[in-house]
Structure 1
Amino acid sequence: MVLGVGLYNKGDKTMMENQKKKLKRTVSLVRILAKYGFGELLNYTNNQVEGEISSLSIYERIRMALEELGPTYVKFGQAFSSREDLLPMEMILELRKLQDNVEVKIMDIPALLKSDLDIDPEEFFAQIDPEPFASASIAQVYRATLKNGQKVILKIKRPGIREVVASDMLIMKDIAKLLVSYSEVFRRINLVEVLEAFEKSIVQELSFLNELANINRFSRNFKGNTSIYLPGVYPELSNDNILCMEFLDGVKISDKDALLAMGLDPAAIAGKGLDLYLVQVLEHGFFHADPHPGNLMVLKTGQIAFIDFGSMGSLTPIEKEMLEDFVSYFMAQDAKRLIAMLKKMAIRFNVTDEDLLERDIHGFFDLLDGASLEEMDIKEVLGKFSGILNNNEILMPDHLYLLVRGIVLIEGIGRALVPDLNIIESLRPYILKIAFRKLSPEELKKSGLKLLRTLTEAMKTMPDELQSVVSKLNAGELKIRQEIQGLPTLKKTMNRGMNRMVMAIMMCGMLISSAILILADKPPKFSGIPVLALLGFLISIVLGLGILISSRSKN
């Protein structure tokens, strides 16, 4: 079969380009892996480690190989640096040393602004530093001053970085599939799913328009909160490759000496930072996914500023509600409800023995009870709990792993400032707040209306189903075969069940009615609450007690 020149379609061309990228990066990958003694992974024959490298441990060689392979591999290693539940501690310690090993790229910033933003830089900027004051794998950051005297920073994406990441991801996916197909270990740590979550995260980081949208959403969430400083952004001077935002003059939140020199209390700053993060997670459902000390600054006013919004975690309303329930059951040490919630939240739940899982969780709670607040380390706590999930092949959504990493980082910052800080105790006020909100008239009304909608939908379909049964009965087409053992016991059980259902529906109706009466605020009242509403709540309590007593009764 002969193919003429020019007959390739756009899809073929893209495929060929991807293959060329993979081939180019694969050559580099083989060379670097062989250099550090990992050539056998790719059946590479020249696998001799020479010189000083031969005296290094395997974990040191892994870290150095990742650094030389470039930004994608460095970030992937950094993503695993908090997964003590999956990797040995020696490797974790090496992964935490990972740094972006990149050279400063010489760029003509005015020319780049002119071509990318279609503006004359001299009309907007009084001055732009030619040298970056910060340089990382994805971008370089420059100081600048606007015409009005406002100091800003320009975050400029490195040329060609998107193509490098894309080719790296193609190779990493192939390697992941190979490892999973040959090794149970990699299957159990869900390597393919972890890589998919990582790809999603790094693609978001590569888009500065996405970061700009994150900053705006974050600012809306914290509008009016005086504990946090929200940096200004300049959309007219930004696009997908350039981000212009306000320059912040502050110190790292972990710099205790600098905080004291500014006259600030490190303990108060630690508590404020922890509270701001818990608000992001439990109230906003939109949280910073990488809150390491370099991304949290403290200003002279004592306000805390979060920076670098490329990687954010986001929860839907349903996910946020499930997380609230999960944390509540965790704090209450309610293993059964915790397992039920894990089933709802998990992407994969392959538990073969739920009784064993429940015993593991109770054992975990016993460990918590036996440790003092000073001894309790949230990183260790979350690591052990993640270990239970992995041993039982429970795969959680990627946003939960981002959240775990964020909480570990925040607690690490807090403990650097206040050694006896305990995040678990800090959670208790939020759990109480969630509990009170769920019992509020507005929330009860919402829950009751949801239940009524469910019952209404069921009642709508019931007549049609009954009509179908009657039609078949009249036509003599309905046949029933049954064999029931212990019929009297079954009748009693069904009668009790029906009675409880009727009482439960009446209780829900009384709760909804009472909530509506409270919102209507009609007299007569007792202690500021409508008497009829109080009467409704009282009847609901009586009905609830009746259901509870009935369920506990053997007869």
Structure 2
Amino acid sequence: MFLKMLFEDNFVHSDLHPGNLLLRTNDDVLAAHRLNRYARLYDRDGKERAPRELVILDAGLVTSLSKDERHNFITLFAAVACGDGELGADLMIDRLPTDQQQQASGPAAAAAAVTVDRDKFRDDMKLVFDMVSPKKTEGFKLSHVRLGTVLAQVLRVVRENHTSLDGNFASLVLTVIVGEGLGRKLVPDFNIFSEAAPYMITYLDNKEFLFLANKLRQTYGASELCRDSTEALLHRTDKANHVAEVATRKTMEKLQQLAVADNDDDDDDAERGERKVAG
């Protein structure tokens, strides 16, 4: 649900703690199932009603990401997954407010009321990402990464270095921490990376997806990455079906885009031909 909000809807509930989730039972659906296990009940909009449904409460605090903000989140996602401290540190410095970016890198830092030591900030951030670096942890796999734990340490470093983040980005980071923690309470082996894969395949643009895929391949190797992905799908057949579905949909969309481009090229050629004849 959270990943759908993030990648598909771009409308994220920013206070998604357990108290804001309500599991509601539809007694009429359960009664129909008791009479006939194949019974189906539908809402007015044509959607099938489930025996139980999850209701989100208190939607007063929500976040929508701009294209740049989403790109930065994908970059942070990749930095955590790959234990790339330099990439993570540079990204967090780039997310500082403009005045602190200047303080972090400019000679006027000493005279500023609030200063950021860029080198210390970078070193502290690299230590955080080293916790999940495959290069420093033998046998480490992507499925071992605890995204929420790493992001919590990222926020600690931000606080200890007296830096700040823009509201949308900080809100999203906190939401991911809470969301992954809730997921692990319900499903102890919950892995946000494998859960996010189908949504990334579907909703990331080509540039974002290729960046993330190449970064993971360089870190874990193509064979290891394929093995981990295959293991995750074998244990979750519903996810395997979803991956196949969204991959097919994305392929069709790309083919349609190519067809439109070909038609545009044909129209341009025809127009140039008409001009030549007229000339």
TM-score (norm 2): 0.49
Question: If you compute each CA radius of gyration, which structure gives the higher value, 1 or 2?
Answer: 1
Structure ranking higher in helix proportion: 2
TM-score (norm 1): 0.27
Greater relative CO (CA pairs within 8 A, separation 6+): 2
